[in-house]
Structure 1
Amino acid sequence: MNRVERRPSRYKPYLWAIGTDLETLPVDELVGQRYRVVAPYIWLDTQPDQRPSAPDTFPAEAVPYLRAHPHRLHVPGLYGVLERTGAPPILLLDNAPIHPQAGALLPELEAGLFSASPLRQANWLWQLWELWRTLGELGLARSLLISSNLRVDGWRLRLLELVPDGEPPALADLVELWRSLLSPLHLAVSEPLRAIVNQLDAGTLDPDTLSLELNQILLRQAATVSTRIALAGATAKGPTQPRNEDACWPQGIQPEAASLQVAIVCDGVGGHDGGEIAGQLAVQSLQIQLQALLAEAQNELRVLPPQIIIQQLEAVIRVVNELINFQNDNRGRVGRQRMGTTLVMAVVIPQRVQTEQGWERVNEVYLAHVGDSRAYWITPDYCHPLTVDDDIAGREVIACRQSWPVAQERSDAGALTQALGTRSGEHLTPHIQRFVFDETGILLLCSDGLSDNYRIEDAWANYIGLIIKDIVTLDSAVASWIELANQKNGHDNTAVVLMQHKLLTPASVQGDQGLPAGVGADSGTVPPTGAKLYGESQPQEEFVAAPAASAPPRGVPRWILAVSGSILLVGLLGWWWLASRSPDVPESPNAPPAAPAP
Structure 2
Amino acid sequence: MLICPQCKFENPNANKFCQNCGTSLTHHACHECGMEVPLNAQNCHNCGAECGTVWLAIVTREEGGDWELGSWQDDQDDLPTLPLSTEQTLPLAARPVLKAGSYIDKEQRYQLLEPLEILDDNAQATEVCVRVLDCQPYQISPIEAILDNQNQGLFTATDPEISIPKLAKAYVQLQSKGQLEIPAIHDAWQEGNTQVVLIEDRSDWPLLIDLWKEETTSSLQILHWFYQMTQLWAVLEPVRCRQSLLELSNLRLDEDQTLALARLYRESDAETDETAEDETLSLTEQPFSVKVLGEIWQELFRQSQRTQFGAVLQILEDLKLGKIQMIAQLRSRLEAIASDLEASAIPSFSPTAHQHPTAPTLIQLEDDPDEDSSARSDDLPTIVLSMQLSSLEDVGCTDVGRQRQHNEDYFGIDTKIEKQEFPRNRVYQARGLYILCDGMGGHAGGEIASELAVNTVKQYFQEFWQTNQRPTEANMREAVYLANQAIYQLNQQDARSGIGRMGTTLVILVIQDTEAVVAHVGDSRLYRLTRKRGLEQITVDHEVGQREIARGVEPSIAYARPDAYQLTQALGPRDESAIYPDVEFFDINEDSLLILASDGLSDNDLLETHWKTHLLPLLSSGASLERGVNELIDLANQKNGHDNITAILVRAKVRPNMDSQK
Task: Confirm or deny a common fold (TM above 0.5).
Answer: no
Higher-Rg structure is: 2
Larger helix share, 1 or 2: 1
TM-score (norm 2): 0.40
What is the TM-score normalised by the length of structure 1? 0.44
